[in-house]
Amino acid sequence: MKYLGKKTITLIMTLFLVSVAAFLAFQIIPGDVVTSILGTEATPEREEQLREELGFNDPPAVRYFNWMSGVAKGDLGVSYRYSRNMNEMMPVAELIGDKLPVTLWLAALGLALIILVSIPLGVLWARSGSRLLDAVLGVITQATMAVPSFFLGILVTFVFGIVLKLFAPGGYISYEEDFTGFLGYLLFPALSIALPKIAMTARFLRNSMLTEVGTDYVRTAYSKGCTKRRVMYAHVLRNAMMPVVTFLGMIVAEIVAGSIVIEQVFGLPGIGRLLISAISTRDFPVVQILILYITFVVIVVYYLVDVIYRLIDPRISGK
């Protein structure tokens, strides 16, 4: 409990510092948000009214406190660029709520592909002892890791969409409209995300297992009569997973935070695409909340990685 308590305090402090940095950064950026929203033809009276409505006349400390109080209560503010109608700005919570399921389902499918393929492949690669298989997998994984994400997305679209006609490129289906069709379309962007990560994870696991094979405890296990299968799965794999867990944590944080390039290539209305749009249109409330979301995802993932470390190896201390 002491170990988890220290990690929780670190998580909260990190989130607080990032929230302060995100808030202050958008206070010093040049440009007048009110003029950007209303245009140059607005009357001074209307500009002053909007400043008062948005709280721009309050001191920065008061604005930060009001913002964080609203976030704690679930009120994420309003978007400067998106609106329900001409007179009502769209709440940020509603805007993000429409995009978040797309990113989360994309991340879930990508992560499932990574785990289901990379770990068995890494174990097979480490156990095989075949120079031919080692060379073939080495070339394939190296080539897969070297391909940029946007180009890999284009290749997947060309092969599975245009040539094999397994999906319609650009034919995104909303999860509210047809959930099965939605998952079917997401499978191909998820494959684009997963392929380089599968290559990295399999190679990383293979190298980690080969390092463990040469240690003293493995020789001791063989001397006690343990079979190769038992040694590899009961001893080597468990210890080899320690660095792999860290790497998988990095992957999870990356894809849950929003796969910007893949979302752009496949036309997915996810968090990553929304972030690019909000930055380009200076929609600061949306950008601030997305920065907090990404920070929260990253620190929570690493918090869970630390917990998994303790489960895999209880010898790890909380120091």
Q: What is the pLDDT of residues 112-123, one digit of tens each?
A: 999 999 999 998
Burial of 188 (0-12, 13-18, 19+ CB in 10 A): buried
Of 34, 40, 27, 30, the residue nearest 53 (C-alpha): 34
Instruction: Tell me the whole-structure pTM to 2 decimals.
Output: 0.84
What span, in angstroms and rounded, lies between the C-alpha atoms of 269 and 283? 17
- Cβ atoms of 228 and 80 within 8 Å: the answer is no
pLDDT of res. 186? 92
pLDDT of res. 195? 92
Of 35, 33, 90, 23, the residue nearest 63 (C-alpha): 23
Secondary structure (DSSP) of 78-144: EEEEEEEETTEEEEHHHHHHHHHHHHHHHHHHHHHHHHHHHHHHHHHHHHH--HHHHHHHHHHHHHH
pLDDT of res. 314? 65
The torsion angle over the Cα atoms of residues 280, 252, 118 and 190, rounded to 10 degrees, is: -40
Residue 103, Cβ neighbours under 10 Å: how many? 25
pLDDT of res. 22? 84
Query: Which residue has 């001409």 as its token pair?
Result: 86
3-state secondary structure of 188: helix
Residues of the chain under the 70 pLDDT cut: 1, 30-32, 36, 39-40, 85-87, 258, 313-319
Q: How far apart are the first and last CA of the chain?
A: 13
What span, in angstroms and rounded, lies between the C-alpha atoms of 308 and 151? 34
